[in-house]
Structure 1
Amino acid sequence: MTQLTDTHLYREIHEQPAVLRRLLDKEEATAAALADLIHGRAIDHVVIAARGTSDNAGRYAQYVLGAMNGLSVGLAAPSLFSIYHRPPRFGNALVLGISQSGQSPDIVGVLAEARRQGALTAVLTNRPASPLADQGDVVIDLQAGEERAVAATKTYTAELAAIALISAALSDSAEQRQALAAMPDAVAATLSMNDAIAAAAPRYRYMSRCVVAGRGYNYATAFETALKLKEMTYTIVEPYSSADFLHGPLAMIETGFPVMIIAPAGVMAAEMAEFAHAVRGRQAEVIAISDAAEVLATARVPLRLPAPVPEWLSPITAIVPGQLLAMHLAHARDYDIDAPRGIHKVTETV
């Protein structure tokens, strides 16, 4: 078996603090320029074009730009542009493309149509010399360096940080900027969970299905954690809002069914603790990623986040245990961590 520390994935997960420092240092001025354009054009809504991991970053943007900046944020349906050829009217929107590679034709097509309609366009990408970047009025370079593992890790947290950087620039808030500047150290502290997660992972070596639940800002984290587990461990993993899960899917629960709950401290913590009690009452096995005592107390496997952060930034740290768990579980199953079966680093959809 390959030594875990020799894999690209292990190194890239542990590069995340350095990537975030570089992004926050080098792209602050670009985010400020985008904020000026948004204010100058009185932009009143945002449309995000993305796929896969980047789509999960878009879910985060819905909450951050909505709660912190009062913007209505929707996710584009790229097939309307590339297959049906029935693009909707963007109106006075910012159309934001998010893509690690900047290569997918359907995402490029959304931004090309936005430019044709005269909308403001912006791009978050790790490849500023890419077809998608060519369609952006403003391009934020994720500054992640080459990401060689198929499963995206450092580019995802960079996307989240770039969205938070835009939000802070729009608010012109020194408090938000200060909180964001502390995130590289918070992610570094979260990486100290590696050994505890490595010890917990073998318990789930034969797990074939599970649920990941989150809500609010960490609705995105539930989706991204589920995606990492699917990609790397080939497990059937369904992400849910805790509220949606109670509307029907609760019937899936049986004795020992694993339910992972993402619930950092904040306004959602009390509700997520109630949710944990509800699934435990049906004999589910709760895995909790949290720094809230009331949530951790419900868990068969409590994974304590070591660095409390403001709730609006918590997805940047809360995803790290999910990345680590997927990596260690794949390693326990003797899977190829850097190249999961059947998928490629760049997927070009039309």
Structure 2
Amino acid sequence: MSWVEAELREQPVALERFLTAESAHAPGIVRALLREDVRYLLIVSRGSSSNVARYMQYLFGTFNRLPVAFATPSLYTVYDAPPELGPAAVIGISQSGASPDVVAVLDEARKQRRPTLAITNDAESPLALAADSVLQLHAGEERAVAATKTYLNSIAAVALLSTAAAPQRLDDLRAMPEKVGEQIERSLAAAGVLDGYREVEGGSVVARGVNYGAAFEIALKIRELSGAQFEAFSSADLLHGPIAALKSGRPAIVIAPAGRTLTSMSVALEKVRERGAEVIAISDDERFLSESDTALRLVPGVPEWLSPLLTVVPGQVAAVRLATLRDANVDSPVGLTKITLTH
């Protein structure tokens, strides 16, 4: 078994370990971060961590009513022109905690006396040392280049921070390791339905709302592991132009769990089919699945705000499956390294 598949299978255990270790710490972290003068969150991240940041933008906007902005690291490291951060709390998200440009933003935030938090798998990393508070991911060593369990635990970290003052939602989060385990088994058992896409050159991943970041993560994983050129879009942006590129032979993976976005995703599915593109549906809605060409079923009964912990799993499995069918090295894809240092 490859490292990436082994780590994919380990995700429920890693998630349980994180929740056990950090649930009691989260309320204190949130109190320190969200001081009375904080009016928005500024997130700095790269790669898969930026897809986590997209989830944070929706989750904190919806439940915590806080705007979430994304930092521009080159302003700090290339142009030497860091902006005035004003009433911001600054959060760095990085599995390794090693990238200098991410660390530089937190360094500047502390100079401006803004509260800072590091979300990282390495509690002794440069990012952790630069922050006022640290939320450690407890994912364990990740040997494969492509992030799986560190990504999932990062999503859980954002969810945990959001639930710090909401015990009912915390109970829902604590139930997720079992649900993730069920999803992994379900997705691995269904992986063979993807074999017909072995020669595909590219396609789209479409989502909206809390799963917008999951679309980017799935597209990234497929590109990293198989080389197929998948791109991510919100269902709204897709209709503003990119839909013109859809056609037969370039499938669209459409993420549509039950919830607020299902109606708009159904409209997107209809438009994708009109273009002649095959639809691979990631959903727990039977009607939606029945209207797709390939159905990747989600475990039902999960609140929409936690669905990104599930929706990414069929995408991870799809990326590994396509790469394996193409005889690619899934543990060390050509041109990639585990830790990328950017300035």
Q: Could you tell me the percent identity over the aligned residues? A: 45
**2:171 matched to 1:188?**
no
Shift of 1:266: 0.4
* Local SS of the residue matching 2:295: strand
One-letter amino acid of the counterpart of residue 118, structure 1: R
1:75 maps to 70
**2:43 matched to 1:44?**
no
CA distance in 1, matches of 2:187, 2:6: 12
**2:273 matched to 1:296?**
no
CA distance in 1, matches of 2:289, 2:296: 7
One-letter amino acid of the counterpart of residue 287, structure 1: I
RMSD: 1.1
Contact 1:197/1:325, CA 8 A, preserved across alignment? no
One-letter amino acid of the counterpart of residue 247, structure 2: E
Aligned partner of 1:338 among 316, 320, 331? 331
1:3 maps to none
1:53 maps to 48
**2:15 matched to 1:20?**
yes
Alignment deviations for residues 296-338 of structure 1 (CA, whole Å, 9 cap, x no partner): 1221001110233111110011100000010111111111110
Q: Which runs of 5 or more structure 2 residues have no equivalent in the other structure? A: none
1:116 maps to 111
* Local SS of the residue matching 1:213: strand
**2:157 matched to 1:157?**
no
* Local SS of the residue matching 1:193: helix
Equivalent residues in 2 for 1:80-229 (5 A)? Answer: 80-169=75-164, 172-229=165-222
One-letter amino acid of the counterpart of residue 122, structure 2: R
Alignment deviations for residues 109-166 of structure 1 (CA, whole Å, 9 cap, x no partner): 0000000000000000000111110111110110000000000000001000000000
Shift of 1:108: 0.5
Q: How many pairs were matched up? A: 343
Contact 2:99/2:340, CA 8 A, preserved across alignment? yes
TM superposition score normalised by structure 2? 0.98
Shift of 1:174: 1.6
CA distance in 2, matches of 1:53, 1:209: 20
Task: Report which stretch shifted further, 296-305 or 54-63.
Answer: 296-305
CA distance in 2, matches of 1:279, 1:233: 23
* Local SS of the residue matching 1:346: coil
Aligned partner of 2:224 among 219, 231, 238? 231
Shift of 1:257: 2.7
Aligned partner of 1:249 among 226, 230, 242? 242
One-letter amino acid of the counterpart of residue 168, structure 1: T
* Local SS of the residue matching 1:71: coil
1:33 maps to 28
CA distance in 2, matches of 1:306, 1:195: 13
One-letter amino acid of the counterpart of residue 152, structure 1: A
Aligned partner of 1:281 among 269, 274, 282? 274
CA distance in 2, matches of 1:39, 1:54: 21
Shift of 1:92: 1.8
The alpha-carbon distance between structure 1 residues 64 and 315, as it changes in their structure 2 partners (threshold 3 A), is same
TM superposition score normalised by structure 1? 0.96
CA distance in 2, matches of 1:343, 1:178: 38
One-letter amino acid of the counterpart of residue 220, structure 1: G
2:316 maps to 323
Contact 1:273/1:298, CA 8 A, preserved across alignment? no
Moved over 6 A (4+): none
CA distance in 2, matches of 1:79, 1:174: 39
Contact 2:144/2:338, CA 8 A, preserved across alignment? yes
Contact 2:201/2:250, CA 8 A, preserved across alignment? no
CA distance in 1, matches of 2:135, 2:40: 19
